[in-house]
């Protein structure tokens, strides 16, 4: 705050504020404090804590999301999707989206069903392909499903997910399982026809997939080998890979000797140690870390899998034999075979056409499994082979140690159940996230209302403070103006009057001509000072924006006071009497008028003059004219009075024009453009 102190003649002081007033300073501080508080309130309102406060449902949904995220983190990781030649089952084409298409699996016998899992088809290892928008799974004891048991009917929330969808059956007995697509999807690039696709359908009873290699019935389907076939729905090969979990240290499995011919025959066999009733045999391909890009490492192109009760396989029973057709490399997927409670003690796999490694040929397996119910009866049993390569990671014992190339092997139904639960949790997380988003919008709307109310309140508060400050400042300025005008009138005015009277008294007593002239000059200056003082007192008392009517009255008073011995009519044209103008405008007009009239009185040597004050839409004009002796403007130098009037005219955004003709008079015109 800058303050200029003006000391009057009697030692008093007045404060003239040239910068921000004290009220302005206080208002600015209050405004800054209010804005700061409002800013921090806004930051708080945008925080999660505040949003939870603004909408109590947010906290509940956030807690639900944290719980879902924790359970997702505890579950198995999403497997790497395999790119397989066997894509799965493809329905026949339908003309509309709501056409019904179904596929049914015959399990071969009635089983107590524990769970059914459906895996989507994946093409090129990306996302699910052709999974229906809505589906139904039923089971029954006859092929027509005359008395069907509904397992599930649901909409698909995440049609692109590659994870399985599972349903628990609680041991209900059935032989046939049917999957019905109730909402087909458009065939890519052909929106005029609709389809559905499945990668694999698995039915578990007692821990075993009893749908493996079952009979598939589909009234309308597409067969384009090797990609699409109804039999691919139950071949046990699917894109999620091998049921396993990663471990810090694993083994590669068993590796045969190295041969220079592909048709070199070699075999490996496992002694179960007792006779067992086998339900399923599984082959886990090897994938050693030193061959990261060679999936299905060492898996033979032609082979025979058989069981026997004797070690020499004199009476062996064939489980599977490729014959003349080469077996497609299974990559990182399990190859499973159902054997329907076959009695066996020995299992042998014989390779007739080996896998080419790098200019040589080998036979390798990551793991061999044989299940009697849920029990893997070959785990840690004795392994023999016609030839073996033994290293730190390859050995016959590693064929049955429960470790595959991907880690520790898991029970398939348990693994699929955990993946199905992961899919359900992902759906739940997405639903909760959507609710959080929606409730967040509610909180944002409430926040917007609070911010708007706060802003209105803050603006109202600032407006009221500003209004109060202006009123207070106007009162203070008004009091100050009145005090200054009284001080000027009572003190300086009194002194000037005293000087004038003393000059008159001294002039009456003086006898010498020089003294009379000096005293007359003193008297004249005192009279001019008194007149100027009256003008200043009037300006101070009138306030910030006096009305034009008051200006005209003051102009009449000045003309009457200065032109006492002269005839001087005053004409006002079109002046808006009730309009107001800034104090600076009044001040400059009055000073120009007073200076012009002084010049007329002192220099014109005439008894008549005229003043015209006119007002139009574009300009304001003041004219002071006399019929005196005039002067030659080319020879007479412009004095300080003319320069002061020109300066004040320029401040009024106007121009000063002085026209004079010797012995004919002078005309002074001030033209001011309307702003």
Decide if 163 is inside a domain. Answer: yes
- What was the pLDDT predicted at 50? 56
Mean pLDDT score of the chain = 84
Position 321 confidence tier, pLDDT thresholds 50, 70, 90:
very high
- What was the pLDDT predicted at 393? 92
Structure tokens at 595: 């200076």
**Cα 182 from Cα 97, distance rounded (Å):** 8
Domain end among 351, 369, 399: 399
- What was the pLDDT predicted at 176? 98
Position 379 confidence tier, pLDDT thresholds 50, 70, 90:
very high
Position 455 confidence tier, pLDDT thresholds 50, 70, 90:
confident
**Cα 642 from Cα 633, distance rounded (Å):** 12
Q: 337: domain CATH number?
A: 2.60.120
Neighbours of 535 (CB within 10 A): 18
Residue given tokens 């039915």 in the structure block: 203
Decide if 428 is inside a domain. Answer: no
Higher pLDDT among residues 580 and 320, named by residue: 320
Is 17 a residue whose pLDDT tops 50? no
**Cα 435 from Cα 668, distance rounded (Å):** 82
Q: 635: domain CATH number?
A: 3.30.565.10
Provide the domain count of the chain: 3
Which whole-number Å values give the CA distances from 607 to 97, 489, 564, in the listed order?
A: 111, 32, 10
- What was the pLDDT predicted at 436? 81
Q: Pinpoint the alpha helices (H) of 383-411.
A: none
**Cα 446 from Cα 423, distance rounded (Å):** 34
Paired with 613 in beta bridges are 572, 622
Q: What is the mean pLDDT of residues 192-202?
A: 94
- What was the pLDDT predicted at 641? 78
Three-state secondary-structure class, residue 659:
strand
Same domain, 316 and 389: yes
Q: Look at residues 531, 439, 538 and name the one whose alpha carbon lies nearest to residue 493.
A: 531
Q: 230: domain CATH number?
A: 2.60.120.260
Position 301 confidence tier, pLDDT thresholds 50, 70, 90:
very high
Name residues whose C-beta falls within 8 Å of residue 52's C-beta, 6 or more positions apart in sequence.
58, 59, 62, 443
Decide if 499 is inside a domain. Answer: no
Is 187 a residue whose pLDDT tops 80? yes
Neighbours of 559 (CB within 10 A): 21
Same domain, 297 and 211: no
Decide if 34 is inside a domain. Answer: no
Same domain, 112 and 224: yes
Same domain, 115 and 188: yes
Decide if 439 is inside a domain. Answer: no
Same domain, 197 and 267: no
Is 544 a residue whose pLDDT tops 80? no
Neighbours of 1 (CB within 10 A): 10
Higher pLDDT among residues 534 and 73, named by residue: 73
Is 218 a residue whose pLDDT tops 50? yes
**Cα 286 from Cα 548, distance rounded (Å):** 105
Structure tokens at 93: 């084409």
Q: CA 152: distance to chain centroid?
A: 39
Q: What is the mean pLDDT of residues 454-475?
A: 77
Does this model's pTM top 0.75? My answer is no
DSSP assignment, residue 80? Answer: P
- What was the pLDDT predicted at 441? 75
Phi and psi at residue 136, in whole multiples of 5°? Answer: -140, 140
Same domain, 140 and 225: yes
Decide if 343 is inside a domain. Answer: yes
**Cα 220 from Cα 210, distance rounded (Å):** 24
Q: DSSP for 414-453, please give it.
A: HHHHHHHHHHHHHHHHHHHHHHHHHHHHHHHHHHHHHHHH
Which whole-number Å values give the CA distances from 104 to 141, 179, 318, 596, 655, in the listed order?
A: 12, 6, 28, 116, 104
Is 566 a residue whose pLDDT tops 50? yes
Position 546 confidence tier, pLDDT thresholds 50, 70, 90:
confident
SS3 content of the chain, % helix, strand, coil (to 5): 35, 30, 30
Decide if 477 is inside a domain. Answer: no
- What was the pLDDT predicted at 11? 34
Same domain, 666 and 616: yes
Q: What is the mean pLDDT of residues 449-476?
A: 77
**Cα 175 from Cα 178, distance rounded (Å):** 10
- What was the pLDDT predicted at 13? 34
Same domain, 165 and 264: no
Structure tokens at 596: 């012009």
Q: What is the mean pLDDT of residues 504-529?
A: 64
Q: What is the mean pLDDT of residues 134-148?
A: 96
Quote the percentage of the chain above a pLDDT of 90. 48
Domain end among 357, 373, 399: 399
Same domain, 615 and 577: yes
CB contact at 8 A, 326 and 224: no
Same domain, 298 and 230: no
Structure tokens at 543: 């306030």
Q: What is the mean pLDDT of residues 229-257?
A: 92
Q: Look at residues 80, 149, 19, 10 and name the one whose alpha carbon lies nearest to residue 407.
A: 80
Is 14 a residue whose pLDDT tops 50? no
Quote the percentage of the chain above a pLDDT of 70. 80
Position 449 confidence tier, pLDDT thresholds 50, 70, 90:
confident
Q: What is the mean pLDDT of residues 229-239?
A: 94
Is 179 a residue whose pLDDT tops 70? yes
Decide if 484 is inside a domain. Answer: no
Residue given tokens 């505890």 in the structure block: 74
pLDDT tens sequence across 397-441: 999 999 976 689 999 999 999 999 999 999 899 888 888 888 777
Least confident of 18-27, 170-179, 355-364, 649-658: 18-27
Q: DSSP for 298-359, please give it.
A: T--SEEEEEEESSTT-TT-EEEEE-TTSPPPP-TTS-EEEEEEEEEEEEEEEEEEEPEE-SS
Q: Tell me the residue range of the domain where 147 lies.
A: 89-234
Same domain, 190 and 265: no
pLDDT tens sequence across 83-129: 888 899 999 999 999 999 999 999 999 999 999 999 999 987 678 99
Q: What is the mean pLDDT of residues 227-234?
A: 95
Domain end among 399, 425, 448: 399
Position 10 confidence tier, pLDDT thresholds 50, 70, 90:
very low
- What was the pLDDT predicted at 1? 32
Same domain, 303 and 391: yes
Is 604 a residue whose pLDDT tops 90? no
Position 350 confidence tier, pLDDT thresholds 50, 70, 90:
very high
pLDDT tens sequence across 482-511: 655 555 555 455 556 666 666 666 666 655
Neighbours of 552 (CB within 10 A): 15
Burial class (CB in 10 A: 0-12, 13-18, 19+), 115: buried
């Amino acid at each position: 705050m800058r303050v200029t102190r003006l000391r009057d003649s009697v030692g008093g002081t007045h404060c003239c504020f040239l910068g921000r007033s004290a009220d302005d300073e206080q208002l600015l501080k209050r405004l800054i404090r209010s804005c700061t508080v409002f800013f921090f309130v806004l930051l708080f309102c945008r925080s999660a804590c505040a949003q939870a406060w603004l909408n109590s449902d947010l906290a509940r949904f956030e807690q639900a999301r944290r719980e879902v995220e924790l359970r997702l983190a505890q579950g198995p990781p999403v497997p790497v999707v395999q790119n397989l030649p066997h894509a799965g089952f493809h329905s026949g084409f339908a003309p509309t989206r709501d056409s019904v298409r179904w596929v049914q699996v015959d399990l071969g016998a009635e089983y107590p069903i524990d769970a059914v899992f459906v895996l989507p088809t994946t093409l090129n290892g990306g996302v699910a392909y052709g999974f229906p928008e809505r589906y139904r799974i039923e089971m029954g004891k006859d092929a027509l499903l005359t008395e069907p048991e509904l397992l599930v009917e649901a909409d698909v929330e995440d049609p692109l997910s590659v994870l399985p969808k599972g349903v628990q059956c609680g041991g209900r007995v059935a032989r046939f399982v049917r999957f019905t697509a109730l909402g087909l999807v458009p065939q890519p690039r052909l929106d005029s026809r609709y389809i559905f696709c499945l990668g694999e359908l698995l039915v578990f009873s007692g821990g075993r997939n009893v749908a493996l290699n079952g009979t598939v019935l589909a009234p309308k389907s597409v067969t384009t080998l090797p990609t699409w076939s109804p039999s691919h729905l139950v071949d046990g090969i699917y894109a999620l890979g091998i049921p396993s979990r990663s471990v810090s240290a694993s083994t590669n499995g068993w590796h045969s000797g190295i041969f220079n011919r592909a048709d070199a025959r070699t075999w490996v066999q496992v002694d179960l140690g007792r006779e067992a009733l086998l339900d399923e045999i599984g082959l886990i391909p090897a994938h050693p870390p030193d061959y990261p890009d060679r999936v299905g490492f060492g898996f033979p192109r032609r082979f025979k899998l058989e069981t026997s009760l004797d070690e020499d396989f004199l009476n062996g029973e064939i489980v599977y034999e490729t014959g003349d057709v080469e077996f497609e490399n299974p990559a990182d997927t399990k190859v499973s075979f159902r054997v329907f409670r076959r009695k066996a003690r020995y299992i042998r796999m014989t390779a007739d056409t080996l896998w080419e490694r790098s200019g040589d040929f080998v036979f390798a397996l990551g793991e061999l499994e044989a299940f009697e119910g849920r029990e893997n009866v070959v785990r840690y049993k004795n392994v023999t082979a016609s030839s073996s390569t033994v290293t730190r990671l390859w050995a016959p014992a590693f064929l049955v140690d429960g470790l595959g190339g991907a880690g520790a092997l898991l029970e398939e139904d348990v693994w699929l159940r955990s993946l199905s639960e992961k899919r359900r949790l992902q759906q739940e997380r997405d639903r909760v996230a959507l609710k959080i988003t929606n409730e967040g919008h509610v909180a944002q709307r409430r926040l917007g209302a609070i911010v708007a109310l706060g802003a209105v309140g803050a603006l109202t508060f600032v407006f009221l403070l500003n209004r109060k400050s202006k009123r207070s400042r106007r009162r203070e300025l008004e009091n100050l103006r009145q005090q200054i005008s009284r001080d000027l009138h009572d003190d300086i005015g009194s002194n000037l009057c005293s000087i004038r009277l003393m000059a008159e008294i001294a002039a009456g007593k003086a006898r010498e001509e020089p003294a009379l002239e000096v005293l007359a000059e003193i008297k004249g200056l005192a009279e001019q000072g008194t007149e100027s003082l009256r003008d200043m007192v009037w300006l101070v008392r009138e306030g910030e924006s006096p009305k034009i009517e008051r200006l005209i009255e003051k102009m009449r008073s000045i003309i009457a006071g200065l032109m006492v011995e002269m005839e001087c009519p005053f004409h006002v044209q079109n002046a808006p009497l009730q309009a107001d103008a800034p104090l600076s405008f009044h001040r400059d007009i009055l000073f120009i008028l007073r200076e012009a009239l002084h010049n007329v009185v002192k220099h014109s040597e005439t008894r008549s003059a005229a003043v015209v004050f006119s007002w139009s839409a574009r300009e304001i004009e003041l004219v002071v004219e006399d019929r005196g002796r005039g002067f030659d403007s080319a020879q007479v130098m412009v004095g300080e009075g003319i320069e002061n009037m020109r300066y004040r005219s320029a401040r009024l955004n106007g121009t000063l024009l002085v026209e004079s003709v010797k012995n004919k008079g002078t005309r002074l015109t001030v033209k001011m453009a309307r702003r």
